[in-house]
Chains A and B, each alone.
Chain A
Amino acid sequence: MSEKEEPRIGVFICHCGTNIAGVVDVKQVVDFTSKQPNVVFATDYTYMCSDPGQALIKDSIKEHKLNRVVVAACSPRMHEPTFRKTCQEAGLNPYLFEMANIREQCCWVHMGEPEKATEKAKALVKAALAKASLLEPLTPMEFNVERSALIIGGGIAGIQAALDLANAGFHVYLVEKEPSIGGHMAQLDKTFPTLDCSACILTPKMVDVGRHPNITLLTYCEAQEVEGFIGNFKVKILRKARYVDEKACTGCGVCAQKCPVKVPSEFDLGLGMRKAIYIPFPQSVPITHTIDKENCLYFTRGVCKVCEKFCPAKAIRFDQQDETIELKVGIIINATGYDLFNAKKLPQYGYGKYKNVITGLEFERLVNASGPTGGKIVRPSDGKTPKSVAFIQCIGSRDEHHGVPYCSRICCMASLKHAHQVKEKIPGAEVCVFYIDLRCFGKGYEEFLVRVQDEGIRLVRGKVSEIYENPETGNLRLRLEDTLLGEVMETEFELVVLAVALVPRAEAPALQTLLKVSRGADGFFLEAHPKLRPVETHIPGIFICGCAQGPKDIPDTVAQASAAAAQAAIPLSQGKVTAEPLTAYVLEDYCSGCGVCEAICPYKAIELKEVEEGKRRAEVNEALCQGCGLCGAACPSKAIVLRGFTEPQLMSQIEALSSV
Chain B
Amino acid sequence: MGKPKIACYWAASCGGCDVSVLDIGSKLADIVEQVEIVFWPIALDFKYKDVEAMPDQSIDICLFNGGIRNEENEHMAKLLRRKSKILIAYGACAYLGGILGLANLATLKELFSRVYRETPSTVNPENTVPQPTVKVKEGELKLSPLLEYLKPLNEVVEVDYYIPGCPPIGEKAWEALIALIKGEKPPKGTVLTADERTVCDSCPRVKEEKKIKELKRIYQVIPDPEKCFLEQGIICMGPATRGGCDAQCIKAGLPCKGCFGPAPNVEDQGARMLSALASIVEVNSEEEAKRFAESVADPAGTFYLFSLPSSMLKRRVK
Contacts and interface: CB of A to CB of B under 8 A. Distances in A.
Mutual binders A and B: yes
Interface of A: 521, 587, 589-596, 598-600, 614-616, 630, 633-639
B207 A594 contact: yes
Nearest to B212: A599
B280 A636 contact: no
A633 B276 CA distance: 8
24 contacts: A521-B284, A591-B197, A592-B197, A592-B200, A592-B201, A594-B198, A595-B209, A596-B210, A596-B280, A598-B209, A599-B210, A599-B280, A600-B279, A614-B204, A616-B207, A630-B279, A636-B266, A636-B273, A637-B197, A637-B239, A637-B240, A637-B266, A638-B265, A639-B263
Nearest to B211: A599
B272 A600 contact: no
Contacts of A634: 275-276, 279-280
B112 to A, nearest CB: 35
Contacts of B272: 635-638
Interface string B216-250: 00000000000000100000001110010000000
**Sorted from nearest, which 5 A-B pairs have the closest CB atoms?**
A637-B263, A634-B279, A636-B240, A636-B239, A599-B210
B276 A596 contact: yes
A599 B265 CA distance: 22
B102 interface: no
Given A616-B207, A633-B275, A594 B263 contact: no
A596 B197 contact: no
Majority-rule SS of A interface residues = loop
B267 to A, nearest CB: 9
B148 interface: no
Given A592-B239, A594-B210, A595-B209, A637 B280 contact: no
Given A593-B200, A600-B210, 16 more contacts: A591-B197, A592-B198, A592-B199, A592-B263, A594-B210, A594-B230, A595-B207, A595-B208, A596-B239, A596-B276, A634-B275, A634-B279, A636-B272, A636-B276, A637-B239, A638-B265
B239 A590 contact: no
B263 A636 contact: yes
A211 B201 CA distance: 57
A639 B199 contact: no
A521 B263 CA distance: 38
Interface size class of B (residues with CB under 8 A): 20 to 34
A590 B275 contact: no
A591 B201 CA distance: 8
Contacts of A615: 201
Contacts of A637: 197-198, 239-240, 263-266, 272
Nearest to B264: A590
Contact of A598 (B199, B210, B240, B276): B210
Contact of B207 (A521, A589, A593, A635): A593
B196 interface: yes
Interface of B: 196-201, 204, 207-211, 230, 238-240, 243, 263-266, 272-273, 275-276, 279-280, 284
A594 B242 CA distance: 13
A594 B276 CA distance: 10
A639 B279 contact: no
Contacts of A521: 284
Nearest to A588: B197
A600 B278 CA distance: 11
Interface centre among B204, B208, B238, B275 (most CB of A within 10 A): B275
Nearest to B279: A634
Nearest to B206: A614
A638 B276 CA distance: 10
B265 A593 contact: no
A637 B265 CA distance: 7
A590 B200 CA distance: 11
A587 B279 contact: no
Contacts of A590: 196-197, 263-265
Contacts of B204: 614
The winner among B201, B211, B273 for most chain A CB atoms within 10 A is B201
Contacts of B265: 587, 590, 637-639
Contacts of A616: 207
Contacts of A595: 207-210
Contacts of B208: 595
Nearest to B198: A592
A617 to B, nearest CB: 9
A593 B201 contact: yes
A635 B262 CA distance: 12
Given A614-B204, A638-B272, A592 B243 contact: yes
